[in-house]
Structure 1
């Protein structure tokens, strides 16, 4: 297990170092900051309420699935952060700086990524035409967190897993 964690950490650091070399280009810095901000949370509530108004029956189910999924995802990711207490890349790696300040202290797992993938699974379940665009958007949110140097790639993969599992469970329940 120790060897696995060592290798994951090694790959995480290599990827962060490589991605960090892409920074400093105004377009990309701005693009990934804005993509990341789109995953802050208020957009999800807005989407749910808008769909409830525009498509009441499906919108209600989306809101119900979202409430169940987020009621699982949020405490799980917060507990994981407090138990694991992984420092963020900019704290552990010399010469690495973040572009946007992180919303909390610890890195693992990525809450932004978990929420984005949770929403992707729920929305694409009810509206299959969102499958590809939603996957691209959620993936860009995950990548943006690495680009901004607030998460390691393994934090992103953990967030993807958490978001998908919570959404699938919520859809199973409703």
Structure 2
């Protein structure tokens, strides 16, 4: 649970919160770890909103990326601007997750079985007499398809 009270957010205006971020930026690693630990539910919520509900979200790659993004938000947060840290960190997390999802989508190629089907002789035919010939034909088509997909991936990258 986010422990905002431990950062005196509601007792002393924004200054105490900004002081904590400043101390973290100055190298207080114990405070950084506590700060990140207290914000883990917030980070999980950001991931869940973008990725959707998923089992074991806390063990996912998306959550790891969000933790790194939150740490990055701490480092890059400008104390002089009037933006709220929570809004800023949410935006950084969202951008990093979108980048990650785009990169995994680009590398995730699915080949339908229908591409491998031999329409002339019937892929599911139980004849064993032409088995080697059919196997060679399917193998050749599969290799050609893979080469074609590799070429498309190189062009799109």
Q: TM-score, normalised by structure 2?
A: 0.28
Q: TM-score, normalised by structure 1?
A: 0.26
The structure carrying a bigger helix percent of its residues is 1
**Structure number with higher relative contact order (C-alpha < 8 Å, ≥ 6 residues apart):** 1
Structure possessing the higher radius of gyration over alpha carbons: 2
